[in-house]
Chain A
Amino acid sequence: MSENIYDKVKTNPKFAELVQKRSRFAWKLAIVMLVVYYAFILVIAFSPHLFAIKIGEGVTTWGIPIGIGVILIAFVLTGIYTQRANGEFDELTHQIKEEVRGVK
């Protein structure tokens, strides 16, 4: 790949758009995951009794659905990112590549 192509990419406004959109989205999702996980860990570290509260009459505690919920959130977040990145972001990347090659 020649230097020329990199220069063209750099000045292409769509590249700036791609980088901005993607990193904002990726960091937002990463922060959601970190907050959810560390909230979970901090409850265990500081007030584990919260997870020992029973949901109803039986023995099941809130800790169980919340724990399973963290697993599901992790999965759903990867789904959300993959969906948007493989669609919108890849389309944008494709356009950038086309434009860069087009004006040779």
Chain B
Amino acid sequence: MKWGILFFTLSSVLFAADAQFSGKRDLNVSAIVMFLIFVVATLGITYWAARRTKTAKDFYTAGGGITGFQNGLAIAGDYMSAASFLGISGLVYMKGFDGLIYSIGFLVGWPIILFLVAEQLRNLGKYTFSDVASYRLKQTPIRTLAASGSLATVALYLIAQMVGAGQLIQILFGMDYEYAVVMVGILMILYVTFGGMLATTWVQIIKAVLLLSGATFMAIMIMYKVGFSFESLFAKAVELKKTNAIMAPGGLVSDPISAISLGIALMFGTAGLPHILMRFFTVSDAKEARKSVFVATGFIGYFYILTFIIGFGAVVLLTGNPEYLDTVKGGIIGGGNMAAIHTAHAIGGNIFLGFISAVAFATILAVVSGLTLAGASAVSHDLYSNVFARGRADEVTEMKVSKYSTIALGILAIILGIAFEKQNIAFMVGLAFAIAASANFPILFLSMFWGKLTTKGAVWGGGLGLLTAVVLVVLSKAVWVDILGYKTAIYPYGNPAIFSVTIAFVGIWLFSLMDKSEDAKREHAAYEHQFIRSQTGIGAEGASSH
């Protein structure tokens, strides 16, 4: 972390001298140097973590010894992906206020997670959220469904990140798309296979600190240029854009059903993302789990306020500046998502541009590592150990399976990343959130709070939710029109969640109540035991000894 702060001060010192220098961005030496430093440092951490990762518990949850504050930063890191940094600041740059609507949707899931899910999750789970969902239900069907939900979410998210990574690196470093994707894939395999959750967490923490420092510096410099007055920042932006529209809700969220549906997907989707839920098992107890959400919410909220300032700063600094304009296509070079990157250059010249580019790359690496670890544990802990081997697999074999799964997922991510290069992937993160909200979240939530839930109910209802989410996304504009090329979308709204989440909840409820089997009676009876553990933590997994 020290070198991050060093570069941070370095670039602010050099700022004055560098501001007059309008450099070309063909070969970004400073970005490459800073990125290499990051890679060397994180591989060092992986080496350190590898020596401390001996048991399955170490591998999946860093031995349960991460503190609440550290975990909060890591969760914030998982959430502050390159897509949200570049995407939301780009959205604010183009649409102003509408960017804020997205940020808020992404944030408000966190209080809900804290109030209703976090500590129960910590008290009941071991390595994955399927542990909680299948606590008193039948292992085989529930784990299979939960692991499928996890893998679907992870795969979609991973493809979106890989394609984004390839495109970003191409622009930032002038490197070929394929090389970029392969490099990201190999580094992520190294972090996860050797360093497990411990390395993944620390890579995430370092990146979170770098990203927050970089974004803070940008926001301060922008505010400095406008005399630390929001009114003059907005006034300048309105003057340059020649419209007041950026100060109010625009066309991004048009009809009420799409608006509410997006709200549901963002809010409950967050509570169903496997790589986020997994982080709650890395802390020692419920107290630390709560602290981590508090810290994470603070950092994520702060980060979104920064991206809002950066987006408006981009309007002020980039509009009409010929250096950043794409004379052929119009707009800024590389499209709206590059707004933050160009703004970094406008603020701190090549050195700071290099820093922000390296941070963006580091962000992608850290996020894909977390995703891969969550996917690998769904395969090894849920599918292999508990479904295929019916709980009889020993720890050594399970660890081996998880490492092979990591490598397999990494290779798959590289192949899919290359295959999807030219595809429109905008729908993928939305679909990942929709599946998380419609399959993972309802099962998890009801398994913790509703004693009458049965295996049959969870499988049918969760399955229907999953199916509805996928079908509606395929029938919506993002796939039906933009990819399949049909004239009009069959499903007219932007997001399936309002229907798919409802169907999942109603389905689970209905099929559980209809279930009169002996198994169902046993499952009702086991709820009390589970409830006591979820509320008090008696019998919960503790931190490991070291």
Contact = CB atoms under 8 A, between A and B. Distances in A.
Interface of A: 1, 5-6, 9-10, 15, 18-19, 22, 26-27, 29-30, 33-34, 37-38, 40-42, 44-46, 48-49, 51-52, 58-61, 63-64, 67-68, 70-72, 74-75, 77-79, 81-82, 85-86, 90, 93, 96-97, 100
Contacts of B263: 37-38, 41
21 contacts: A6-B528, A15-B536, A33-B108, A33-B115, A37-B263, A48-B250, A51-B249, A52-B247, A59-B231, A59-B247, A61-B247, A67-B101, A68-B305, A74-B107, A77-B111, A78-B110, A78-B111, A82-B114, A86-B287, A93-B537, A100-B538
Nearest to B249: A48
Interface in B480-535: 528-529, 532, 535
B287 A90 contact: yes
Contacts, number: 158
B536 A45 contact: no
A82 B291 contact: yes
Nearest to A96: B536
B341 to A, nearest CB: 24
A68 B101 CA distance: 10
A82 to B, nearest CB: 4
B74 interface: no
A78 B116 CA distance: 11
A52 B234 CA distance: 13
B73 to A, nearest CB: 15
B294 A78 contact: yes
Given A5-B538, A59-B244, 15 more contacts: A15-B532, A22-B535, A44-B253, A45-B255, A49-B248, A52-B247, A58-B234, A59-B234, A59-B247, A64-B230, A67-B101, A70-B104, A71-B104, A71-B107, A71-B301
Contacts of B105: 37, 41
Nearest to A100: B538
A57 B127 CA distance: 56
A48 B114 contact: no
Contact of A1 (B293, B305, B538): B538
A1 B532 CA distance: 12
Nearest to A86: B287
Most B CB atoms within 10 A — which of A15, A86, A97? A86
Contact of B290 (A30, A42, A70, A85): A85
Most B CB atoms within 10 A — which of A72, A78, A96? A78
B536 A82 contact: no
A63 B250 CA distance: 12
Contacts of B529: 6
A52 B91 CA distance: 18
Given A1-B539, A10-B532, A67 B100 contact: yes
Contacts of A41: 101, 105, 253, 259-260, 263
A11 to B, nearest CB: 11
Contacts of B539: 1
Nearest to B536: A93
B254 to A, nearest CB: 8
Q: Give the top 4 A-B pairs by smallest Cβ distance, nearest first.
A: A52-B248, A45-B256, A48-B249, A45-B259
Contacts of B235: 58-59
Given A58-B235, A63-B247, A6 B532 contact: yes
B115 to A, nearest CB: 4
Nearest to B537: A93
Contacts of A100: 538
Contact of A30 (B115, B301, B528): B115
Contacts of B536: 9, 15, 18, 93, 96-97
Most B CB atoms within 10 A — which of A45, A70, A90? A45
Contacts of A5: 538
Contacts of B248: 48-49, 51-52, 61, 63
B70 interface: no
Contacts of B119: 85
A22 B114 CA distance: 12
B247 A26 contact: no
A62 to B, nearest CB: 9
B384 interface: no
Contacts of A67: 97, 100-101, 104
Given A37-B263, A60-B231, A86-B287, A30 B112 contact: yes
A6 to B, nearest CB: 5
Interface in B88-121: 97, 100-101, 103-105, 107-108, 110-112, 114-116, 119
Contacts of A22: 535
